[in-house]
Amino acid sequence: MTDAISWSRLVGGHVLVEGPREDGEGGVLFSDVVAGGVWRWTGGKRATAVLEGRRGIGGLVPHAKGGLVVTGRDVTVVGGRGEDRELLGLRGGMKGFNDLVTTDDGGLLVGALRFRPLVALSLRNWLLILVTPGLYFPSAAVATARLRLEAVTLVSQLHPDALFSQVERFSESAVGDAAADIAGIDFGL
């Protein structure tokens, strides 16, 4: 049996919170996708605006030279020294960018969003399910799963070989834990 985790509400009054992360100075940064902006919570009942106005930010990380790297319609460095600088724009059917993380050497991994293919497939699936009194349902499930697998897009500044070596290094440290999980063995101190 696992111990229950106690959760605490830090701050309220935001519509859709995304990208929460520690800011390195004892606070928490997060975005409000719908209302817009990046906010910083340092205690108390309110958060203060770090970046106002930009809506649709799904992910954010501090930039090494100041400011933040944020996602949304593009991947941009904002609030640093000088003007905002776009790092990655839309291409190949992408509608935006959401989550992002930094690698050990400062590179970025960014998740891209695609919307139109899923809407078109959903409409097609529902129409065929209605026309075939539900007989198309299994095929619709397979088509949806296939689209989800094909639609995964991960953008990286790193060469795939360098990225794979970082993933490999991480996975080696978790092999024993994973093996114990598979075998159903649980050790406690």
- 75 and 127 housed in the same domain: no
Domain assignment present for 93: yes
Looking at the fold, whether 139 and 105 belong to one and the same domain comes out as: no
**Residues 21, 104 share a domain:** yes
**127 and 96, same domain (yes or no):** no
* Gap between the Cα atoms of 11 and 98, Å rounded: 22
**Domain extent at residue 141:** 115-152
Considering the domain boundaries, does residue 177 fall inside one?
A: no
Torsion-angle region of residue 10: left (phi > 0), alpha (psi -120 to 50) or beta?
Answer: alpha
**In angstroms, rounded to a whole number, what is the distance separating the alpha carbons of residues 116 and 119?**
5
| Residues 95 and 114: beta-carbon distance below 8 Å | yes
- Residue pLDDT tens, the chain, 189 long: 567 888 888 888 888 898 898 888 888 999 998 888 899 999 888 898 888 888 888 889 888 888 889 998 898 888 766 678 888 888 777 788 888 888 877 788 888 877 777 788 889 999 999 999 989 999 999 998 888 777 666 666 666 676 666 555 544 444 445 544 554 444 444
Note the pTM of the prediction, 2 decimals.
0.62
**What one-letter code names the amino acid at 21?**
R
Whether 92 and 119 map to the same domain: the answer is: no
Residues 109 and 119 in one domain: no
Q: Which amino acid, one-letter code, is at 127? A: L
Same domain, 64 and 109: yes
Examine the domain organization and report whether 146 and 55 are in the same domain: no
| 40-72-8 Cα angle (round to 5) | 35
